[in-house]
Chain A
Amino acid sequence: MTLVSTHALTAFYGDFQALFGIDFELAEGEVAAVIGANGAGKSTFLRSIAGANSADAGAVRLAGAPVGGLGAPRMARLGVSLVPEGRRLFPSLSVEENLLVGRSTGRVGPWTLERLYRLFPRLEERRAAPALQLSGGEQQMAAIGRALMGNPRLLLCDELSLGLAPVVIKSIYETIPQLAREGVTLVIVEQDIGIALGVAQRVTCLQHGRVSLSGAPAGLTREQISAAYFGH
């Protein structure tokens, strides 16, 4: 079943157009990777789905229903959670308090603090620490955890690898297939193409706000991806 789809999605920042009609589709339980150079519109794409950027009503559909332009709080309560670029944990809250705020969607589901701590044991060790005292990787785990606490159907991850060491990136990406098995559909925006293709069933490449390539990773060559990414 298609969980999320976009149709001719456009997005603007004031007068600047960031997306020029993006078509996208993802079935429930699948993992999609969205890649592209800086400024290609990847973050804008995620934000539009999450409701953080305004969109036409029919441009974004969740399980068939038009949800474009509903706004981020509504979308979160409908089960679309965005893990924002740069983590953006709340500085004056502890790790556990950050996770607890994630419950604000009011959604019922399998994710509890205990379950989260089983997935990310490091967070339990540091639960009382001020959020920003954690290392980059731990903060990323906390940000993912915070979004999971909302029991989302669709998890959007923006640049999980940003600023992290390869070893840490690897350990975080090991949890992605686990999440998929637990029933979470994921869209991952990633700069690190290799690791993104390793977890995704679908890959979409954006270039200057347009889709330049789309398909299953297995069926795409490095040359095709490179061409789509850089545009030659």
Chain B
Amino acid sequence: MLAEWTNTIVQGVLLGGLYGMFAMGLSLIWGVMRLVNIAHGDFILLGAYVALVFGETAGLHPLAALPLVAAAMALLGYALQRGVLNRTLGKGLLPPLLVTFGLSVVVQNLLLQAFSADSQALRAEGLTTASLQLGESLAVGWFPLGVFASALLMGLGLQFLFARTAFGRKLRATSDDHETVQLLGVDEKRMYALAMALAFALMAVAGVLLGMRTSFAPTDGPANLLFAFEAVVIGGLGSFWGTFAGGVILGVAHAVGFRLDPGWGLLVGHFVFLAVLLFKPEGLFPRTR
């Protein structure tokens, strides 16, 4: 009994790594330019579909296609920010939300049109089913473990980028005071575009790993957004590790919920989110700014 619950919690933690990955892109963009991209989940899904195309046309294994997908998505993110989203900044609350909401509708329906509503999956035989035996009754899949490790690496990478590199410094400075940073030679529009390109690359990785882990359909985008969002709220704004922790908590909530009753799986996650919102609205691990 205990072993089964331990197994459930471990699965939840590993799943939470993926949610943390979803959330990092969202959190990064909000941190740098206070923009919430409502199409976030749809773009994650786009990453999975791009990998699917690479797989079907060039026969590439999803992991081999990953760098290509990330590069393609990064370019898309840069172009999107420069061409569309930069125009919505500094004009109030409505434009960024309404434009990204419109983009969400467009992306979802483009995917529907191109790939139909059927579920797809990225084929990676063997990799996704192999498991590591820990003790008597606990088996941990290599793939979920790998996803979790990737999420950790992503968090460490972002942490390093922001704290130690010139680019990260410029991003933080732009986020602090985007007028003054221009006086020092930093083009804020370019900074935002580069940040979005980075976020899109992260979303591409998340999308490919998601597609390898489970089947996906064009209408799954909003669910990804919700998970990313709930992870950010649970964990708290302002720190990547907080967001990561939020993702893990959400993953455990889902795992526990599904174990109790398949119809209630997602609801447990929502209730945890609502509870945090009610009792600790700043999140469980916020970093005060």
Contacts and interface: CB of A to CB of B under 8 A. Distances in A.
B181 interface: yes
B170 interface: yes
Nearest to B176: A90
A97 B169 contact: yes
Contact of B173 (A73, A81, A101, A105): A101
Interface residues on B, range: 10 to 19
B242 to A, nearest CB: 16
Contacts of A208: none
B63 to A, nearest CB: 36
Given A73-B187, A88-B177, A93 B182 contact: no
A101 B289 contact: no
B183 interface: yes
A103 B179 CA distance: 16
Contact of B186 (A73, A81, A84, A98): A73
B276 to A, nearest CB: 25
Given A88-B177, A90-B176, A101 B184 contact: yes
A166 interface: no
B interface majority secondary structure? helix
Given A84-B180, A88-B177, A93 B172 contact: yes
B166 interface: yes
A99 to B, nearest CB: 10
B186 A100 contact: no
B83 interface: no
A98 B173 CA distance: 8
Interface in A88-118: 88, 90-93, 97-98, 100-106
A104 B174 CA distance: 12
15 contacts: A52-B182, A71-B182, A73-B185, A73-B188, A76-B182, A76-B185, A81-B184, A88-B177, A88-B180, A90-B172, A92-B175, A93-B169, A98-B173, A100-B166, A102-B184
